Amino acid sequence: MSEAGEGAPSSIEVGLRGCCPRCGQGKLYKGFLDLAPRCEVCGLDYSFADSGDGPAVFIMMIAGFVIVGLVLWVEFTWSPPYWVHALLWIPLTLALTIGLIRPLKGWLVAQQFRHKAEEGRLEK
């Protein structure tokens, strides 16, 4: 199969399924967030992948927008006591952040693969 050509899964599919960005069959992760060393199906070496803080930044923006918007709406609509806010927003914050980290990391790895992104190197 070509590096990022026809038959390759979409970046969104890679993120949601946690599969290899080249073949779409092998597993991308060996743990919750640890990338496997390589695809067990096509042999793609995942050493190129370094999502860094990218997923965390996206999650802070997405979850922050959703949570803060809902907190303000609930507060100005019903003015509940603080314990209700804690009961609502702590679990939702945990669910959103933990639920989004793996798909977003997979999506960023797939984008790196698809666009052949790598660290900049200075030629001497």
71, part of any domain: yes
Residue 7: what pLDDT?
Answer: 76
**Whole-number pLDDT of residue 83:** 98
Q: How many domains does the chain have?
A: 1
The reply to whether 18 falls in a domain is: yes
Q: Quote the DSSP letter at residue 64.
A: H
The reported pLDDT for the residue numbered 123 is 67
Range 33-40 average pLDDT: 96
In a domain, 45, yes or no: yes
Residue 124 lies in a domain: no
Q: What percent of the chain has pLDDT over 90?
A: 83
What is the SS3 assignment for 10? coil
Q: What does the alpha-carbon distance between residue 50 and residue 87 come to, in Å, rounded to a whole number?
A: 36
Confidence grade of residue 121 (pLDDT, cut at 50, 70, 90):
low
Give the residue numbers spanning the domain of 63. 11-114
**In a domain? residue 33:** yes
The stretches of the chain forming alpha helices (DSSP H) are 11-17, 54-78, 82-114
pLDDT of 120 > 90? The answer is no
pLDDT above 60 for 77: yes
- 15 located within any domain: yes
Contact yes or no for 89/69 (Cβ under 8 A) = no
Radius of gyration of the chain (CA): 19
121 located within any domain? no
Q: Which of 1-10, 51-60, 100-109 has the lowest mean pLDDT?
A: 1-10
Question: Does 3 have pLDDT greater than 60?
Answer: no
